[in-house]
Amino acid sequence: MKFLLKYLEPFKGRMSVGLFIKISGTVAELFLPYILTHILDNVITTLEVKRVVFFGIVMILCAGTACICNIVANRMAAKVSRDFSKKIRKDLFAKTLYLSSADTDRFTIPSLESRITSDTYNVHMFVSMMQRMGVRAPILLIGGLTISFFMDPMLSLAMLATLPFIFITIYSISKNGIPLYAKVQKSVDKMVRVVREDTQGIRVIKALSKNEYENRRYDEVNLSLSKEERRAGTIMGSVNPIMMLLMNLGITGVVALSAFTVANGTSTPATVIAFVQYFTLISMAMMVISRIFVMYTKCAASANRIAEVLDTPDNFYVTEDNSPADNENFISFDDVSFSYLGKKNNIDKLSFTVPKGGTLGIIGATGSGKSTLIKLLMRAYEADSGKIKINGKDITSYSREELTSMFGVALQNDFLYADTIEENIKFGREISEEDIKRAAKIAQAEDFIEALPEKYNHAIAPKGTNLSGGQRQRILIARAVASRPDIIILDDSSSALDYKTDAALRKTLDTELSGSTVITVAQRVSSVKNCGRILVLDDGKVIGDGTHEELLENCPEYKEISDSQMGGAFVD
């Protein structure tokens, strides 16, 4: 919860003004029962209409002041909580984008989504409630008890007798709230994960008629969430009934004791009326305090989850390496090993080099380590051992901006967002219209884009659902090459292209981007056969290394793949 105070620091001025206004309105509200008692005891007995009217106007002014102050303070509180939660969401989202891949795997995407949405909402509601009710309730409680004590100490003791039981009830139940609501949020994570998976795979679900299966899968996580919410709600909801019982017992005690004091002449009916009003205010204050405690447990659980992300250290460190440039070994892997889980190496003692402007093909079965190799090169994960260098320097010696600016990447399952084709290729970068069209031409996307009525201003639906698979991949490739990067990575990004278009793409890359180093990860031999060097991976190890012709002679696995795909024939 400490980080909440840090985020509230910029708003302390506005909160102080709102606090003053809220206190003023609450104090005015506290005086109403006291003024009424004064009227009944001292004013009406004089039979002076002017005095009755005067104090009536005073009551109206107090009521009006309380109303206006509460409205103004509540509006200020709403603005503060809005800006406060906006800042938290912004920082949390930004932190999420800069988390390392290992940290993202640890948190999981669905959990990060629910932290940005439902967890920030819980924190927002608590901050809002604390400003609106967290100030008013204690003043009504303490002020009501103080005024009533000066009016009649005996009756006040009857009220005070119930308060310890109320506080014990609130504390005993509320201390269990944080772990309960932490479990609720974890169940929310599971539900978000299922919803996210189903929305992404809705076409496959319909194609395979698995609607009922996915409904049952969702029902399971929804039922689990419902059980956790019911358990938390049942336990935390017991606060209000118990408090109502204790407060009603307190009112009963006040009424019984007041009957005795009035009969003995030690108190007046007007005082009893005032006491009932003050006890009502105190009861309302206690109810609000119980709600605040319930909301606090939700907020604390959510705040811990938010802070867990915000406090995650940035694992991207930068070392010093003054080695000279090395165009011959522009990309270099030297005895590199890596494991996701720390048990079995997913990449095992991998070594190879690629010259500046060279081409590298990587092929292998699913799970052989192809994409893992790319992730290590881009420093999405840190290698467990060995050295990875770019242009003679260890990749750890480059800043994040320097490293990412070297790459242009197109992945098989990359994303397109709801905007124009031009904006999807530009991707927020300063790229000229000429370079955008050039990139589309290289990616073999020019023909279908020019055939569209709006051409480059054609609006793409979310995830590019209004384009074919091949069209999506060509736009992604255009995005990768638009900035003229030093290294272009095509990770199975042409799987939806026909052989002829794929061959044309390779030729254009060779002629138009001869200065860029191109790494192609593919399942098809036709996509890598013209590369200057081809690595055949199996279980994280290199089982074949050489040109297409060399591998056909020396690597049985590669020859088997080649023969099985097209009988050794390719489209040139």
CATH superfamily of 326-406+523-566: P-loop containing nucleotide triphosphate hydrolases (3.40.50.300)
DSSP secondary structure code for residue 11 in this structure: G
Q: Which residue has the higher pLDDT, 480 or 185?
A: 480
CA pair distance 406, 397, nearest whole angstrom? 14
The reported pLDDT for the residue numbered 570 is 46
Mean pLDDT for 442-446 is 87
Residue 446 is encoded by which pair of tokens? Answer: 């020019």
- Please report the beta strands in 417-540, taking only residues with DSSP state E, as ranges in sequence order: 487-491, 517-522, 533-538
pLDDT for residue 401 is more than 70: yes
Under a CB-based contact definition with an 8 Å cutoff, are residues 526 and 565 in contact? yes
Mean pLDDT for 228-237 is 78
Residue 22 is encoded by which pair of tokens? Answer: 């809220």
CATH superfamily of 2-178+237-310: ABC transporter type 1, transmembrane domain (1.20.1560.10)
Mean pLDDT for 280-303 is 78
Q: Which of 148-162, 517-531, 540-554 has the lowest mean pLDDT?
A: 148-162
For residue 28, the tally of other CB atoms under 10 A from its CB is 19
pLDDT grade, residue 252 (50/70/90)? confident
Highest mean pLDDT among 93-107, 258-272, 383-397, 408-422: 383-397
**pLDDT tens figures, 302-355:** 888 888 899 888 888 888 888 888 888 899 999 999 988 877 888 888 999 999
The reported pLDDT for the residue numbered 572 is 45
Mean pLDDT for 104-132 is 86
Q: Which of 68-72, 206-210, 366-370, 431-435 has the lowest mean pLDDT?
A: 206-210
The reported pLDDT for the residue numbered 454 is 87
Q: What Rg do the C-alpha atoms of the chain give, in angstroms?
A: 35
| Domain chopping of the chain, boundaries | 2-178+237-310, 326-406+523-566
pTM given for the model:
0.74
Pick the closest to residue 468 from 416, 401, 543 (CA basis). Answer: 416
Mean pLDDT for 547-556 is 88
Mean pLDDT for 142-150 is 76
The reported pLDDT for the residue numbered 566 is 59
Under a CB-based contact definition with an 8 Å cutoff, are residues 278 and 148 in contact? yes
pLDDT for residue 569 is more than 60: no
